[in-house]
Amino acid sequence: MKKVRLEIVGLSYSQTQSGAYALVLGESSGSRRLPIIIGGFEAQAIAIELEKMSPSRPLTHDLFKSFAQTFEINVTEVLIYNLVEGIFYAKLICTDGTREVEIDARTSDAIALAVRFNCEIYTYEFILKSAGIVLDDDIEVSSITEASSSVSEVKEGVKRSDSDEYKGKSSEELKNMLQTALDEEKYEMASKIRDELNQRKKS
């Protein structure tokens, strides 16, 4: 079966399911997108690693990585191998250098580990054909989020929308708030503050 390499395109609040997020994966050499609805905890775990934040204590996925590396086990690939009644199925391809083992995992957990192990993400062509969306350059990510509710497992996703919540704060105040949010493990708040600070740097 033909495998297709995927990349993380974005992660944002789901506009169709309360408390959920839309994770959007895109094929590396094409225009199709694969939206997957995931939960808040898994979305947080993915976003923290993508934004290179350092939690004060290790999250579950960080613990898994540390445990695996301690025993010289590496995750070399994540494969989204099936789609049944809107639920995506994934597995981790792991090796200790002498043998390779496949471990079943929720897709959201598998992606959270993929970004930590810096490994490739793949799916099969038939999954992209059945659940993929062809995205034109001028279509916004939010439109993908709308479509994702009909094809995905119930939980989280793509690129957060901008918030005016921190516009009135000075950069110094935001930096202090960012540190406090990280210390208190309020990572969703921390990511919003980080976005505002990054936006100001670009201005």
pLDDT at 62 over 50: yes
Confidence of residue 187 (pLDDT cuts 50, 70, 90): low
pLDDT digits (tens, 9 = 90+) for 131-167: 888 765 444 444 444 434 333 333 333 333 334 567 7
Which residues does residue 37 pair with via DSSP β-bridges, in sequence order?
22
For 52, other C-beta atoms within 10 Å of its C-beta total 7
Confidence (pLDDT) at 144: 41
| CB-based contact 177:169 (threshold 8 Å) | yes
Q: What's the mean pLDDT in 107-119?
A: 96
Q: How far lies 200's CA from each of 98, 102, 175, in Å?
A: 49, 44, 12
Q: For residue 149, what are the contacts with CB-CB under 8 A and spacing of at least 6?
A: 14, 16, 17, 37
pLDDT at 173 over 70: yes
pLDDT digits (tens, 9 = 90+) for 80-103: 999 998 899 999 999 999 999 999
